[in-house]
A and B are shown apart, each in its own frame.
Chain A
Amino acid sequence: MFNYYSIFHINRGRKGEISRLKGKPLVSIVSAGLSKFGKLEGLYSREIFAQAAKEAFDRCPNLDPKKDIKALFVGHMGESYEHQGHTGATAADWAGLLHIPATRTEAACASSSAALTAGIYAVLSGLCDVVMVGGVEKMTHRTTPEVTEYLAMASDYPFEQWHGITFPGLFALMATAHIHKYSTTEKHLAMIAVKNHYHGSLNPKAHMQKEITLENALSSRVIAWPLKLYDCSLITDGGSCLILTKPELAKKYTDTPVHIIGSGQASDTIGMYEREGFTSLTAAKLAAKKAYEMADVKPEEIDVAEVHDCFTIAEIIAYEDLGFSKPGEGKCLVESGDTKLGGRIPVNTSGGLKAKGHPVGATGTAQAYEIYLQLTEQAGRRQVEDAEIGLTHNVGGSGATAAVHIYRRD
């Protein structure tokens, strides 16, 4: 049985704006592209983004990219990696889309979900018939301490970074609190890693395509106690993109569009320490509530989901924030196998951030790419049978940004 306590006790935002949209497609995805995820040695992020764009263009022969695409929104988190900012123009240039308006969106690890949100605004406004949204990050050429430092920039500087709190550290603070309050265990966290590595083993584009055991996960070295190496997502290079259009134009480009029927994005305090509690993310609950209402869909109607497993604890919290389980019972879903392929609601069939990899700027639209594959029955060995409704859940930083999108096949 599902319980909606965790999402429906929050009541913010105006009802009118959402009820007008109830269940109607906001925009349609007519194509999608994803670069290989992994250690892409010798490639700049612009070259990686071009790989994703090439796949999206090839998938959609009816699309004339130069003529049809009216704007690009591209998520990218850090200039420090490549000493390169101004990612909007760079990505448009190298994707062959010179001269269209191109804008970078930055919301830490939710940067490309923010691009997706911006793309939805652009199409729904009526100003653009077709837009490209996506994201990219090139990370693996940097050392782990350097990456740790760059990622930490998404957290509060004067009180968190300044006192040595890392990104794994922030999620470890949540894990300690969750373990204390709900008797979640390190073994439950390891089970998330094992499940997502299994899914990753079925995804030819995943960074890590090999299974791991509970023993591997539990005995890996500590990064920020209680989180160990296998509780952490991967430092990965990758790019992703989607082509969005108005629902009424979708069939001009493809016979199998995927419609986005719910879109929610929310923010929270930049300092995690200021929040009410540390066992759930208010921004994620608010984004989910808005997306569910807009889509007129309930949590139990979701057939497949990609959630933000930047750390294993984050996937357990996501189950609870999305209403897949009651607060504190997220662990039961991984224990029972409900969220594994073949289970009641498979989560992170791509391998998730954990095994597919987490090139931070690319992650949001890479999640959407997986849902696009699932709802158009192109997911190969990891296909979820008869999947009709999908969901993505993308978190920026320690939860100062969260975005939830809901998708329905045509």
Chain B
Amino acid sequence: MSEQAQPFTIEQFYKYMLQGKLMGGKCKKCGKIHLPPRPLCDNCFSNEFEWIELPQKGKLLTYTVIHVAPTQFQGMTPYVVGIVRLENGSKIPGMIRGVAPEQIKIGMQLTIDFGTCAATQPWPQWPRYFFKPA
């Protein structure tokens, strides 16, 4: 199936991550870029999109260090999560690794890493990307 024929779903977004690509859905009618892709444009209600590759670098907007985690993350504490604004303006949250929590600063440049993306498990289970200093 050609790239453009893939469904504009969260599942497909994560499948692209397995290929090392950060992809968004661009509305063909109004041009809004959706990260993650959506089946219905929340701006103009169009359902026609095209896949576009998004920049893998961005700037840290805010962050926290999680010390008390849900059961499945307990073994990883403390860990850092943040929200990153990519170079095109899209925002995405994720864990931040490869830098000590006290070294982290709002505004620092980060890049996405797909290195730990394992094969997908049954839905809804996805690979876990993370961010690291650019």
Contact = CB atoms under 8 A, between A and B. Distances in A.
Given A157-B124, A159-B36, A223 B92 contact: no
Contact of A165 (B10, B68, B93, B128): B93
A24 interface: no
Interface string A212-230: 0000000001111111000
Given A163-B94, A165-B81, A173-B82, A145 B70 contact: yes
Nearest to A168: B68
B106 A164 contact: no
A174 B72 CA distance: 24
Nearest to B74: A145
A172 interface: yes
A180 interface: yes
A146 interface: yes
A148 to B, nearest CB: 5
A164 B67 contact: no
A176 B68 contact: no
A164 B81 contact: yes
B93 A273 contact: yes
Interface of chain A: mostly helix, strand, loop or mixed: helix
B70 A152 contact: yes
A145 B70 CA distance: 5
A239 B126 CA distance: 38
Interface residues of A, number: 37
B17 to A, nearest CB: 12
A38 B101 CA distance: 35
Interface in B86-108: 91-95, 101, 106
Interface in B32-89: 36, 61-74, 76, 78-79, 81-83
A160 interface: yes
A158 interface: yes
Contact of A225 (B67, B74, B94): B67
A159 B64 CA distance: 16
Given A222-B65, A225-B65, A273-B91, A163 B70 contact: no
Interface string A152-182: 1000011111111110110011111100100
A287 B81 CA distance: 29
B69 A164 contact: yes
Contacts of A172: 64-66
Contacts of A407: none
A231 to B, nearest CB: 12
A274 B91 contact: yes
Most chain B C-beta atoms within 10 Å of own C-beta, residue among A145, A176, A177, A226: A176
A221 B14 CA distance: 36
Contacts of B83: 173, 272-273, 278
Contacts of B126: 158, 162
Interface in A195-223: 221-223
Nearest to B91: A273
Q: Which 4 residue pairs across A and B have the least CB separation, nearest first?
A: A172-B64, A149-B70, A225-B65, A177-B62
Interface of B: 10, 14, 36, 61-74, 76, 78-79, 81-83, 91-95, 101, 106, 124, 126, 128
Given A163-B81, A164-B66, A224-B64, 7 more contacts: A149-B72, A164-B69, A165-B93, A180-B62, A225-B64, A278-B61, A278-B83
8 contacts: A145-B69, A148-B69, A149-B72, A158-B14, A158-B126, A163-B95, A169-B66, A174-B62
